[in-house]
Amino acid sequence: MATLVDNRLDGTPGAAPTPASLAASATVGTVGVANAGGTAGAGRARYDNAQTVHGLSTIRIDTSYQRVGTPRLTLALPQSGPWWARWYVWMPTMQNSGFGIDEVRLHASFPDTGLNLVIHETASGNAGTRLQPNDLAASAINWNAETGNAIGIGQWWRLELHFDGGDFTSRVYAGHDTIRARVHTWNGRDVGRSLALTGYRYRRGVILRPGDTDATTGGQVSQMQRDLMALGYELPQWGADGDYGQEAANAVVAFQSGHGYGVVDGIAGPETLAGIALALRLQANANDYPDPLWLSHVAVSDSGPIGPAPQQQDITTSASATVAVAGTLAVRAVQGPQQPVGGELRLTGAASATRTARTTATGTLSAAGLAEAAHRTARTDASTSTTASSAAAVAKASTTAAADGMVARTGAEAGKHGVTTAAATARASGVAWSGGARSAIALDYAAGHVSAPFEPVDDDQALTNDVVARRIDGAEFRVTLQTGPLNAADPPLGVGRYETSVELNTMYDVQLRDHAGWRVHLGTWDEARYPTVSVDLVRNPGLTENVASRESGDWLQVLNPPPWLPPGPIDLLIEGYTETLNTHTWRVEFNASSGGPWVVGVVDDPDDEEPTGPRDPNRADTAACELTAAVDAGDTTLTVTTTVGPPWIDSASYADMFPLDLVLGGEIVRVTAIEGTGATQTLTVERSLNRIAKPHPAGTAVSLARPAVVGL
């Protein structure tokens, strides 16, 4: 499948989308933006984190006075053959406006054909879609077939559009659901080869013309006249007399002319009346827009369905152990690429030190009044407070074993991102999977190692977002997830409360916080499961020894996944298997779950051979780094500037720590050398490790592809 566009649509909250910021959030393809500031003083598009998808900020769109002036994102569809498009939209409730099902959002436009996909809320509070000509007073084009399930309003939807060469189909899913959808099909309907996503709000089914009166319109003429006068359009002769005469028509013309309407005709149709209503709201309060909508994760394909957007997560292959730093290391916790949740992580030197990323401001988790952001990627903001000649980040703990074999301490040394710098105490946890301790197998989908079915599914059976950890004859500690798609708020703001409690025989009460946070981390890992990974050993005899010896708890990685899934390896944990063996069949079906939540940093024994390089998770990211200058798709030299915190390690001082992998604009590159020790450095790289190759503008964020994650 060729994915032509794939863009997360995330950016700095409060900023208006620009071509550069949209390019920075793109994996492939281009998304344009028009009217980010609306027209005639109304309408706006801004990055916003009031509603998020996979922890990423989204684009909020507020309506303008007219359809063409409302902010919109523009995309090119395949110029021939079938196509598929997918995006996420938070669709607000609409009936509280007082117009019932006549309150409408014009959400997607097809400029080639003058058609629009409009959304209304049904009388029962569910999604309703229609095709609407550019003339909003014209009759809507109803679908020819409706199937599937009703999908409620006031939540994240995933919209999937498809044109098969003859028929046009709209599918509305609730969030990442892949099973239940409201499906509408228009037979023999080609909507064109370009698409614009917007958030224009209007009221359908109403139009006032000169000659109308209150008697023929149920009092709507005099209401319009009063509204125009409230906005300063004078009707000195007749006032609000309920007669749509020349004086009222002149006032409508003046309003249309002053508010950017393309057609100035003195007729008060759906756009003009919606504009008058909006002007009244903004006159009283400049921020009193109708409920906005939010957009996220847009994609276009020319050869197959796209499906849910994957969560951006770190890919590593080893884990286990926890780190407690003597002194403090202030770092920032993030969920997914470039998404700070605020606060700081402090690893203390106490024997019972917390290993959970703890925020002190906004946070992701709340526990007994404190904000907690547990078990996420660590990004450094400052050096350790131990002796060091330069700022540094904990990334490689070189230990010396203590007498009891359980505790080891690192030596203090100076360094930068990618090498240990602080005196630390490490204690092996024995709970997380470790690349060196457990068996692993890699299956190549492209080589035919994996048999059908191989499909991701959403699975909430293990969902836990509220955990109480109790110590026998001691205290208790509670952690509740309060943000993100799986938070404990009642729908539609969250998924509801999924509670559990555990009783533990810990040494200290303070350890309960870590255990509760870790269980919330496991219970809210927002990633699809691959419940069945099948291997036909008759077709793949070379895999027999490795596959047949796997057990529950072993690591499983699927390489070169099918084109309808995101590129890059899929890390899984084997939970069980079924083996079928007879005279003609030898088939092993693994029951697997995501390996992501079990991948954490590891403190190594100095007596072991320490594997280094890009697959090692023991690296700390910069606090903020960006491209200094734009690069083309084939450039192998990058200039980057670290804007916050210490810079990257250089290959002259830390030759044994190379290579390392970085990500910029969705593309993973392998860094083989870094020159310079200041804020601006020159990187020699190999491009497109994840099969994504594209140019990147100056200012594109640069970060580790697999930074260290703090475990229990």
pLDDT bin (cut points 50, 70, 90) of residue 284 is very high
Place of tokens 């203090």: 412
Lowest mean pLDDT among 31-40, 241-250, 525-534: 525-534
Residue 337: what pLDDT? 31
The CA distance from 499 to 488, in Å, is 9
Per-residue pLDDT tens over the stretch 397-414:
222 222 222 222 222 233
Place of tokens 């409690």: 501
CA 419 to chain centre: 30
**Backbone phi, psi, residue 395, to 5°:** -140, -25
The CA distance from 434 to 144, in Å, is 55
Per-residue pLDDT tens over the stretch 45-62:
999 999 999 889 999 999
pLDDT (mean) for 306-310: 88
Output 623 or 273, whichever has higher pLDDT. 273
Lowest mean pLDDT among 102-111, 250-259, 377-386, 588-597: 377-386
pLDDT (mean) for 18-26: 94
C-alpha to C-alpha distances, 300 to 29, 85, 457, nearest whole angstrom:
9, 4, 21
**Does position 71 have pLDDT exceeding 70, yes or no?**
yes
Per-residue pLDDT tens over the stretch 463-505:
899 999 988 777 788 889 888 888 999 888 888 999 999 999 8
Question: What percent of the chain is modeled with pLDDT above 90?
Answer: 46
| Ranges of each domain in the chain | 3-205+289-301, 214-268, 440-459+528-597, 624-704
Residue 456: what pLDDT? 82
Contacts of 299 (CB under 8 A, 6+ apart): 3, 5, 6, 7, 85, 86, 87, 306, 309
The CA distance from 502 to 307, in Å, is 36
**Does position 438 have pLDDT exceeding 60, yes or no?**
no
pLDDT (mean) for 513-528: 84
Output 613 or 198, whichever has higher pLDDT. 198
- The 3 state secondary structure assigned to 129-155 is EEEEECCCCCCCECCCEEEECCCECCE
User: What is the DSSP secondary-structure string of 667-711?
Assistant: EEEEEEEEE-SSSEEEEEEE--TTS----B-TT-BEEESS--B--
Handedness of CA 390, 391, 392, 398 (dihedral sign): positive
503 closest CA partner among 537, 469, 550: 469
The CA distance from 36 to 295, in Å, is 13
SS3 of residue 518 by DSSP: helix
58 closest CA partner among 7, 127, 126, 93: 7
268 closest CA partner among 97, 116, 115, 66: 66
Q: What is the mean pLDDT of the chain?
A: 78
pLDDT (mean) for 688-697: 85
Token digits of residue 5? 């566009």
pLDDT (mean) for 529-539: 87
**Does position 392 have pLDDT exceeding 80, yes or no?**
no
How does strand 44-53 pair with strand 660-664?
Answer: unpaired
Indicate the pTM of the whole model: 0.50
Residue 604: what pLDDT? 56
In this structure, the number of other CB atoms found within 10 A of the CB of residue 678 comes to: 9
**Does position 81 have pLDDT exceeding 80, yes or no?**
yes
| 3-205+289-301: CATH, from 3.40.50.720, 2.60.120.200, 1.10.3720.10, 3.20.20.100 | 2.60.120.200
423 closest CA partner among 327, 344, 351: 327
533-536: strand order across its sheet? 440-444, 555-559, 570-581, 586-594, 533-536
Per-residue pLDDT tens over the stretch 108-153:
999 999 999 999 988 888 999 999 999 999 999 999 999 999 999 8
Output 527 or 154, whichever has higher pLDDT. 154
Domain 624-704 is in which class?
Answer: mainly beta
Residue 695: what pLDDT? 93
Output 431 or 555, whichever has higher pLDDT. 555
Question: What percent of the chain is modeled with pLDDT above 70?
Answer: 77
Q: What is the largest CA-CA distance in the chain?
A: 99
pLDDT bin (cut points 50, 70, 90) of residue 459 is low
